[in-house]
Structure 1
Amino acid sequence: MCLVYNLGILLYGWVLRLAAPFNHRAALLLQGRRRVWGDLAAFWGDDKVAWVHCASLGEFEQGRPLIEALRKQRPDHKVVLTFFSPSGYEVRKNYELADLVLYLPADTAANARRFIDKVRPSEVYFIKYEYWFHYFKALKRRNIPLYLVSAIFREEQIFFRWYGGWFRKLLPLVTRFFVQDERSASLLRSIGVAHCEVAGDTRFDRVKALVEQAREVPVIADFAKGQRVLVAGSTWPPDEAILAKWLEQAPSDVKIIVAPHEVHEAHVQELVARFKGGAARFSQLKGAVSAEARVLVIDTIGLLSSLYRYGSVAYIGGGFGKGIHNTLEAATYGMPVIFGPHHKKFKEAMDLLEEGAAFAIAGQADFEQVMAGLWDGDAARLAAAGAAASAYVGRMTGATERVLGVSAGTQATQD
């Protein structure tokens, strides 16, 4: 099976080279991997190093609290941050809390030995996913502790299939698994992996920090003052169609702040047109929002995590496509969240539903019914749902400290 794995890695490299002239992402990944060894040529010699690996941008946001805590708790350590995907590296290649940001070279035995010999990490953290055999094996041989952080497991994964024997061999190479929930821990124990503990999800620490760092946006505060405001984040056209139709018959004191997932000009124009002249664009404001505008379209990036404070209900987009986006940023502000049917792969969404802090919809009628219940029904229902959201996030914070507490003990034992 190792031979098949190695051939797969080799084949992927060939496909990458063939695709690079025609595919921008493939070209970025190929070029980035070629730069790694040059970037490492002037790497420091004797400093302790913490290596953090993230598959992509989502995993980076999950691992970000860990990096921030490492900087505070291990001031004598350098931090090396690696990515597999261009969508992570290209956005965070200048991340100020990392001393070096790199693409992870392909998982061959030679690359793994060369990379680890150069970086010489004293501790390694892989975030959520990514199981690279040769890197794991090389770390184990050098007795370098490897931690899987915010890991989550499902029964359909190959580790738990009858034909997954070779892949199960990767699991003992990990020093400790910090899993998100008891179900993941039980699955690991069912195949003899006992070196795991339920630590939670570091994303909760991240969203808590975002709330604490959220900035005031006076023009949006003025737009929302004295109104009932729905904040819709990371929306796609099917989400936006539901919102536009609902607003046609909503009471006059209802307003929407919508931050679409795609902010390119064509989509923003289409979105504004959906609301039939009743929408203003954030980037074009020269003062207060017109009194006639019931919708404010956020056509810039970087504001969403600060917007939820201005609403009392949140709609999270993506549920009518590949899957919903981040529900935690809204829930942290103590507001109920609404999303579409494609949410079942997201643990926090399922948790929020169980807590009574979220509502799943299948279409227009469901959305209108939920909104009527929250805003036009018993006011206590809205308050209870918001309180449940806030309490849930509060209970789930602290994973970062638990991870670093254990890893610090491991370091002390080794020293």
Structure 2
Amino acid sequence: MHLFFYEIIIRFLIPFALAKIFYRALINSNHLNYFSERLGFYSKQKKIFWRNKQTIWLHCVSVGETKAINNLIEVLLKKYPQIHILISHGTLTGRETILPKSSRVHRTYLPYDTNRAVKRFLSFYQPKIGLIVETELWFNLINQCELHQIPLHLINARLSINSLKKYLPFKKFINTRLLQLNSIHVRAREDANNFNSLTEAKIKIMGNIKFDSKSPKNTERKSDDLRKKLKITNQFVLVAGSTRPGEEKILIQLVRKLNCKNLILIVVPRHPERFDEVEKLFSKENLSILRKSKLGKIKKSPKYILGDTMGDLYEIYSIASLAIIGGSILNHGGQNPIEPMSLGIKTVVGPSIYNFKDMVIDAEKNQAILRFRNINELEKLLKNTIARKNRKNYIVNNAKQFIKNSSGSTSKIIELINQYF
């Protein structure tokens, strides 16, 4: 496949992408904010501002990638006091994810990957270096960065076996584009092996930047306030973070089966557009669920709570007795388990882990995380954990040590950026 045909495909798909945005805007009008950026159009006032700025550009498509770079941004702000940092996103949730506050940190949507839109984006911001976080591959963008002589690096890159299978039919085309990147830095050995099956480009293992993530500074205070508001004292709090479709119903059935009066279930759906859907699910099951966004004065602790506020997952995990990683119960590949582990919360992950396979396997080898292969195993694990709620567990200590031993990717990225300043 040639870039010409790729351009035709992208142009064909754009109307469908726009239709999806307009549909989502019916539920949340914020999807229409900064709409012109998606097409690569910017105001004249902004153009004056960005003229002759020294800029480091990072692309973080959604929430996970954006959270992962918080610590990196703080380090960059201190190390380069004259440099501006541009963060581009592909989703509304990514753009709304909290970042360090600074007049030198800016946000934008990455435009759709047509030649003209990408040219306008690069000509407008003129970054000195670009860093794509994880594996958001847009081939016109890669090509135009080379033509504009903008160094472009892929960092914290991951490539699952499922994604590799989808890419392999286009191996020749993708290999050509990946060779245009200045460097590719992957999270783990499995990612390196998969990239080596796809490209002749040199692959370096940098480690996972998510191990360097830190909880927000006010997490402890906010979690204490949340405990008081929810009237949580000695209850067993089960938090299911970043849940995906079908998983909430499984958890409802499990909690009913456990029949533990002292148990509180908090579910935090992965995608905000599912908040109403999950609330309706509980209503259909004749269960009353309290939305965190509507939390006021209550007389007693609710049995079921819906985490429907953005950017508060650390706060919610902090009040957990046990955290279950969403997306791992059913076949969605799982989500990042580092957040609850780093907070000293015993963490459980299910059978589906392909998004974080190396991390979970290494954590399990180090006895830093608990695994269940089916719902029966999860039920037994919960019964055992509830019975021993107040007992200190070696899993928590192992998790903290595991994270400490695995950190250090941020310093390697700084070394990479140092080449250009």
TM (norm. structure 1) is: 0.80
One of 5, 8, 16 as aligned partner of 1:7: 5
- What is the DSSP-based 3-state SS (H/G/I as helix, E as strand, rest coil) of the residue aligned with 1:42? helix
One of 327, 333, 354 as aligned partner of 2:337: 327
CA contact (8 A) 2:335 2:355 kept: no
Q: CA deviation at 1:400?
A: 1.6
For 1:136, give the aligned amino acid: I
- What is the DSSP-based 3-state SS (H/G/I as helix, E as strand, rest coil) of the residue aligned with 1:345? helix
- Other-structure match for 2:132: 126
CA contact (8 A) 2:39 2:117 kept: no
CA contact (8 A) 1:211 1:332 kept: no
- Other-structure match for 2:320: 311
Q: CA deviation at 1:100?
A: 4.1
Stretch deviating more after TM superposition (151-160 or 139-148): 151-160
Q: CA deviation at 1:187?
A: 4.8
Evaluate the alpha carbon distance shift between residue 125 and residue 372 of structure 1 in structure 2; reply closer, same or farther with a 3 A threshold: same
- What is the DSSP-based 3-state SS (H/G/I as helix, E as strand, rest coil) of the residue aligned with 2:9? helix
- Other-structure match for 1:179: 186
Distance of 1:239 and 1:404 partners within structure 2: 39
Distance of 2:7 and 2:41 partners within structure 1: 18
- Other-structure match for 2:37: 32
For 1:372, give the aligned amino acid: K
Evaluate the alpha carbon distance shift between residue 101 and residue 219 of structure 1 in structure 2; reply closer, same or farther with a 3 A threshold: closer
- Other-structure match for 2:141: 135
One of 41, 45, 50 as aligned partner of 2:51: 45
One of 201, 208, 214 as aligned partner of 1:193: 201
- Other-structure match for 1:69: 75
For 1:308, give the aligned amino acid: Y
- Which structure's CA Rg is the greater one? 1
- Other-structure match for 1:396: 406
Evaluate the alpha carbon distance shift between residue 218 and residue 275 of structure 1 in structure 2; reply closer, same or farther with a 3 A threshold: farther
Q: CA deviation at 1:303?
A: 2.7
CA contact (8 A) 2:264 2:303 kept: yes
Q: Which deviations, in whole Å up to 9, do the C-alpha atoms of 1:361-381 show, x marking residues without a partner?
A: 45542221111333436987x
- What is the DSSP-based 3-state SS (H/G/I as helix, E as strand, rest coil) of the residue aligned with 1:153? coil
For 1:232, give the aligned amino acid: A
Q: CA deviation at 1:137?
A: 3.3
Alignment of 1:404-415 (within 5 A): 404-408=414-418, 410-412=419-421
Q: CA deviation at 1:76?
A: 1.1
- What is the DSSP-based 3-state SS (H/G/I as helix, E as strand, rest coil) of the residue aligned with 1:41? helix
- Other-structure match for 1:371: 382
Q: Which deviations, in whole Å up to 9, do the C-alpha atoms of 1:321-362 show, x marking residues without a partner?
A: 634344222111223323443322323344434433334445
Distance of 1:405 and 1:107 partners within structure 2: 29
Evaluate the alpha carbon distance shift between residue 265 and residue 122 of structure 1 in structure 2; reply closer, same or farther with a 3 A threshold: closer
Evaluate the alpha carbon distance shift between residue 25 and residue 350 of structure 1 in structure 2; reply closer, same or farther with a 3 A threshold: farther
CA contact (8 A) 1:242 1:363 kept: no
For 2:347, give the aligned amino acid: V
- Other-structure match for 1:146: 152
Alignment of 1:244-323 (within 5 A): 244-248=252-256, 249-261=258-270, 264-265=275-276, 267-268=278-279, 270-271=281-282, 274=285, 276=287, 282-283=292-293, 285-287=295-297, 289-290=299-300, 293-318=302-327, 319-320=329-330, 322-323=332-333
CA contact (8 A) 1:25 1:86 kept: no
Distance of 1:121 and 1:300 partners within structure 2: 33
CA contact (8 A) 1:16 1:30 kept: no
CA contact (8 A) 2:54 2:127 kept: yes
Stretch deviating more after TM superposition (121-130 or 391-400): 391-400
Unaligned segments of structure 2, at least 5 residues: 26-31
CA contact (8 A) 1:94 1:101 kept: no
Q: Are 2:348 and 1:338 aligned?
A: yes
Distance of 2:389 and 2:112 partners within structure 1: 57
Evaluate the alpha carbon distance shift between residue 331 and residue 116 of structure 1 in structure 2; reply closer, same or farther with a 3 A threshold: same
Q: Are 2:369 and 1:358 aligned?
A: yes
For 1:77, give the aligned amino acid: I
- What is the DSSP-based 3-state SS (H/G/I as helix, E as strand, rest coil) of the residue aligned with 1:197? strand
- Other-structure match for 1:58: 64
Evaluate the alpha carbon distance shift between residue 160 and residue 104 of structure 1 in structure 2; reply closer, same or farther with a 3 A threshold: closer
Q: Which deviations, in whole Å up to 9, do the C-alpha atoms of 1:36-58 show, x marking residues without a partner?
A: 24365334322211111223333
CA contact (8 A) 2:223 2:318 kept: no
Q: Which deviations, in whole Å up to 9, do the C-alpha atoms of 1:176-235 show, x marking residues without a partner?
A: 2222113333555675433x43222222323x2337744234351573323333222234
For 1:36, give the aligned amino acid: F
Alignment of 1:60-139 (within 5 A): 60-89=66-95, 91=96, 96-97=101-102, 99-139=105-145
Stretch deviating more after TM superposition (265-274 or 362-371): 265-274
- What is the DSSP-based 3-state SS (H/G/I as helix, E as strand, rest coil) of the residue aligned with 1:129? coil
Q: Percent identity?
A: 21
- What is the DSSP-based 3-state SS (H/G/I as helix, E as strand, rest coil) of the residue aligned with 2:334? coil
